[in-house]
Amino acid sequence: MGAFALRDVVDECYWCGRKATSAEHVPPKCIFPELKDSEGINYRKNLITVPSCDQHNLVKTKDDEYLLLLLVVNTLRNEVGKQQFDTKLMRLIRQKPWFVSNVIGNANSIHMFDTDDTLIGTGKAFQVDIKRYDSIIEHVARALWFHEYGLRFRGRFEILINGLRYNSVRSIHKMYAVYEKELFRIQQTLLFKGENPDVFRYVFTYGRKGRVHLSMIFYGFQMLFIVMEASCSWSWGMNMKRRRHNKSLELSP
């Protein structure tokens, strides 16, 4: 289906504008459970695709599997995320034990705190390759932008909340917890998109000075918040037009 959809869009990579060679799923298809793993529930309804060159296709770089792993081992996940852990990730571990041990081999035991400093549990934490992770998130965000507006994103890009909750520095994870509570609040007022919301949903909203905010939620609880500031002037007019339709948009911090 993705291949046919390409004809309707420009035949250019969503990121660099070079000739597209395939349709990239955004977010990667592997995070959406296959039918055999989901007791017959279809979690792959109308997945989003964008035209992509080889260089900007996450599947070709295997970064899709890295994202899957980070999402399903996170303590913030719903039953569908747990299901993906028990099925898809376990198969991946059997097929490529080295891949998983390279990523989570250095795990340590940690204590987890809530915003009021109460201990909410213990768990394991491991070092994430932040450069790689940020790059994956940027691919997803740019592809969603392309899908939403039909144009490549050019401008300033910043991940304010990356969904990786715990840090060895206590004050930092407290700060994230505050953001997360704020995001839970805006969930009540914003209309998220995505036809498989238990796996992934997202919404673009509009902040001050022409900034566009992208909020994404994976597996019900893992929230990411991104600021995208397009450098070209068309974005400003577009934001003004959209703003009329969607009023409650700004995060307070």
User: Which residues in this chain contact Zn ion in the complex, by CB under 5 A?
Assistant: 13, 15-16, 53, 56
**DSSP assignment of 110-137, as one string?**
EEEE-TTS-EEEEEEE----HHHHHHHH
Q: How far apart are CA 192 and CA 203, in angstroms?
A: 5
Q: How far apart are CA 98 and CA 208, in angstroms?
A: 46
Hey, what long-range contacts does 249-253 have (CB within 8 A, 24 or more apart)? 249/190, 249/205, 249/206, 249/207, 249/213, 250/205, 250/207, 250/208, 250/213, 251/179, 251/182, 251/183, 251/186, 251/207, 251/213, 251/225, 252/182, 253/178, 253/179, 253/182
- Residue 13 or 30 with smaller CB distance to Zn ion: 13
Q: How far is the CB of 17 from Zn ion (least distance, A)?
A: 7
Q: How far is the CB of 219 from Zn ion (least distance, A)?
A: 28
> Quick one: tokens of 219?
């597996």
Q: How far is the CB of 45 from Zn ion (least distance, A)?
A: 27
- Residue 25 or 88 with smaller CB distance to Zn ion: 25
- Residue 99 or 149 with smaller CB distance to Zn ion: 149
Is there a cis peptide before residue 27, judged by omega within 30 degrees of 0? yes
- Residue 15 or 153 with smaller CB distance to Zn ion: 15
Q: What is the largest CA-CA distance in the chain?
A: 54
- Residue 22 or 75 with smaller CB distance to Zn ion: 22
**Cβ neighbours of residue 4 under 8 Å, at least 6 residues apart?**
none
> Quick one: tokens of 105?
């081999």
Nearest residue to the partner Zn ion, using Cβ: 13
- Residue 56 or 213 with smaller CB distance to Zn ion: 56
Q: How far is the CB of 53 from Zn ion (least distance, A)?
A: 3
Q: How far is the CB of 212 from Zn ion (least distance, A)?
A: 21
Q: How far is the CB of 16 from Zn ion (least distance, A)?
A: 3
- Residue 157 or 218 with smaller CB distance to Zn ion: 157
C-beta neighbour count of 86 within 10 angstroms: 12
Residue 72, phi then psi, degrees to nearest 5: -85, -20
Q: How far is the CB of 162 from Zn ion (least distance, A)?
A: 23
